[in-house]
Structure 1
Amino acid sequence: MEKGTIYDLDELENLYNDLNDHLETNINYPGWIKGVYPTRETALKGIEESNLFVFRIDNTIAGSIILNHHPEEAYKQVEWGVDAKAENIIVIHTLVVHPSFMNKGIATKLINFATKYSKEQKMKAIRLDVSVNNMAAIKLYEKLGYKYIGTVDLGLPYAHLKWFKLYEMILNND
């Protein structure tokens, strides 16, 4: 796992587009929309903020994740398991796996990396939101020990992306 660089931008954009094409022709669990999210700008911002990480297999980006301190506004609507300021939590965003590498444990590796990274940064918790329709991701998060906190409306302008489940993993940094 390594931080993404500007040299990864074209490959990340292609990964996002390939993934969205795959989702359109299969079951689009996350509800993502090609050209809306995720996009080249999503990757560029993650690279510029130095919080986008890539996982490579044979010099090809198999998956990527953005880890930052930017919770959605709707996160304030629930009572989290641990009281923490944004700078003391990591929020998982844009967890992606290229269709060619699906069902090979890449998403698990990305989530496990997020845990290790967050502990190294002495964070109190990891938080995330996931569309209520994204059953595959929900199952993975729960299997990896994330606790369901509540369901909120993130205020997105798409009917199919109204409700999101919030999850948290409290970290013990002893």
Structure 2
Amino acid sequence: MMFRPATREDISSIDKIYLKIHNKEQNNELKVGWIKGVYPVRKTAVDALERNDLFVYEKNGEILASAIINQIQVDVYQNGKWIYDGNDSEVMVLHTLVVDPDKGGCGIGTKFVDFYENYALESGCHILRMDTNEKNTAARNLYKKLGYREADIVPCEFNGIPDVNLVLLEKKI
């Protein structure tokens, strides 16, 4: 098992994870707050790959999770009630963390956040930020357990999804 930068060959696997999550959301098996065909979509992964900020978790040749890790802060972050402040070069952001829902409950999300934190430290960033939809209680509970503070909840349109209450989270390491 390993974390690594994604390759073009990983895009189909990542897209399948997105689709599994969307299907489970439509069947009321998950509550993430995403919309199939709107966000995330294959282009979400392709754009991140082209920016070189898409990462995957692979085990036995199978992609089980992916996330986007970079220093791009979503525009609504500007008005967030952050405690930890720093210039952009000190902030690392985790976006679109997805775990194959058929493999959930095995600690993969926790391992990915640990990878993110180590990656941030190696990059000289001590301020960590991320966001999630207010509806995504599973993610909110995980991030709280991992020491992230809910800094604010901001109403917005998020990646084409209307009427989102975006939970802004932070941690200093």
TM norm. shorter chain > 0.5: yes
Q: Corresponding residue for 1:34?
A: 36
Is 1:82–1:124's contact at 8 Å kept on the other side of the alignment? no
Identity %: 32
Q: Corresponding residue for 2:84?
A: 82
Q: Which runs of 5+ in 1 are unaligned?
A: none
User: In structure 1, what residue type is equivalent to 2:125?
Assistant: M
In structure 1, C-alpha distance between the alignment counterparts of 2:47 and 2:88, rounded to whole Å? 18
- For 2:48, which of 46, 55, 59 is the aligned residue? 46
Question: Which structure has the highest strand share of the two?
Answer: 2
Q: Corresponding residue for 1:170?
A: 172
TM-score by length of 1: 0.91
In structure 2, C-alpha distance between the alignment counterparts of 1:162 and 1:26, rounded to whole Å? 18
1:155 Cα deviation after fit: 2.8
The runs of 4+ residues in structure 1 deviating greater than 6 Å are none
Q: Corresponding residue for 1:122?
A: 124
Match of 2:96, SS state, is strand
User: In structure 1, what residue type is equivalent to 2:123?
Assistant: Q
1:152 Cα deviation after fit: 0.7
In structure 2, C-alpha distance between the alignment counterparts of 1:111 and 1:71, rounded to whole Å? 17
1:158 Cα deviation after fit: 4.2
TM-score by length of 2: 0.91
1:86 Cα deviation after fit: 2.4
Aligned positions, number: 170
Q: Corresponding residue for 1:20?
A: 22
1:46 Cα deviation after fit: 1.2
In structure 2, C-alpha distance between the alignment counterparts of 1:62 and 1:128, rounded to whole Å? 20
User: In structure 2, what residue type is equivalent to 1:69?
Assistant: Q
Is 1:78–1:149's contact at 8 Å kept on the other side of the alignment? yes
